[in-house]
Amino acid sequence: MANPSQLKKTPLHDLHVAGGAKMVDFGGWHMPLQYEGILAEHHKVRQHVGIFDVSHMGEIDFIGPRAIEAIQRLITNDASRLVDGRALYTTVCYEDGGIVDDCIVYRFGPELFRIVVNASNIDKDYEHFKGNVGELCEIINRSDEFALIAVQGPEAVALVARLGGAELGDVRPFGFGPGRIADAPITAARTGYTGEDGFELFVAAADAPKVWQALVDAGAAPIGLGARDTLRLEARLSLYGNDIDRTTSPLEAGLGWVVKLAKIDDGAPFIGSKALAEQKEAGLGRKLVGFTVTSRGIIRAGAEILGDDDAVVGNVTSGGVAPTVGGAVGLGYVPTAMGKIGTTLRIRQRTKILEAKIVKGPFYKRPSSAS
């Protein structure tokens, strides 16, 4: 582990330390793992409202009359349907269809788009963007200028609207709008990574401590990376570096809904579109599935999924407890023929073999969105 003094720190670092958080090295950042315990923090987000420091994420702006052309060339989804104040989730691919990153694209105006990228990928993504579409528009890495605070939970929208402006309560999912908290300008995006409703707040780095403190004073509980992982796993949200990376395609990862191959016919093919079209035509050899553990025990990333004669046919990419729904759950890649709902999996973790059952959809859906 790196020396903490050598790690990058977010603008909220001192507040985390003063708040008694247990700090860890997370991809070169000194980040809070937990404050009062992962389970307690998990339940506070599911039942009330929690705030997360996600300032380690990156913000890259695309500016100019050809910005939309650049965005369309980079992403698998279709940004042409965005209007001002709207955002979408997408993947960015290499020519072979492997995933560069999964991102959210925000349209601030016809000549200003922002892509929020994963923390460990900021430099890589910026070089990929510049190297492939840098001639089309101005591309600026603004990651050091912003802090990003996620406010998540059933009480999150009401809290942000009360502090930041009543009109924020009318922002739709994957929309965003301006407001002010603690007399600091914010941009509140109705997005998140927990399976709950809420916002992610863009705020100038210098203003982040007072915005964070105002949210805490209003009743939001500080939440660390530990609960962020259990929350996203229950919601079956992929984590870059675990469930998706350059060796996986969005089709294999169950993200086909953000792959718009029609862009090829529309004369706006994206990087990797040819490879993904060929993969779809040929059929997938493997797929990412979600499973519940039916044996006693918890399955972690790296466990081996077994086939006939105990041959290794796949691997677990994420796994852990599911505090809200109970038991243990996980994600992993299996041959497509083994990926049917209800299939029993045999999974080897070290020397122990456990059983699990493939299930459909997220492990947890918040009550307002459950069918």
Domain segments of the chain as ranges: 4-54+145-234, 58-141+249-282, 285-359
Residue 368 or 178, more confident:
178
- Per residue in 154-206, pLDDT (tens digit) is 999 999 999 999 999 999 999 999 999 999 999 999 999 999 999 999 999 99
371 pLDDT exceeds 70?
Answer: no
**Residue type for 308, please?**
D
370 pLDDT exceeds 50?
Answer: no
Matching CATH number, 285-359, of 1.10.10.10, 2.40.30.110, 3.40.50.2300, 3.90.1010.10: 2.40.30.110
Q: What pLDDT, on the 0 to 100 scale, is given for residue 27?
A: 85
Give the rounded percent of residues in the chain with a pLDDT score beyond 70: 98
- Per residue in 93-143, pLDDT (tens digit) is 999 999 999 999 999 999 999 999 999 999 999 999 999 999 999 999 999
Predicted TM-score of the model (pTM)? 0.96
The CATH code for residues 4-54+145-234 is 3.30.1360.120
One fold for both 4-54+145-234 and 58-141+249-282? no
Matching CATH number, 58-141+249-282, of 1.25.40.10, 3.40.50.2020, 3.30.930.10, 3.30.70.1400: 3.30.70.1400
- Per residue in 306-361, pLDDT (tens digit) is 999 999 999 999 999 999 999 999 999 999 999 999 999 999 999 999 999 999 99
pLDDT band, very low/low/confident/very high, at 73 (cuts 50, 70, 90): very high
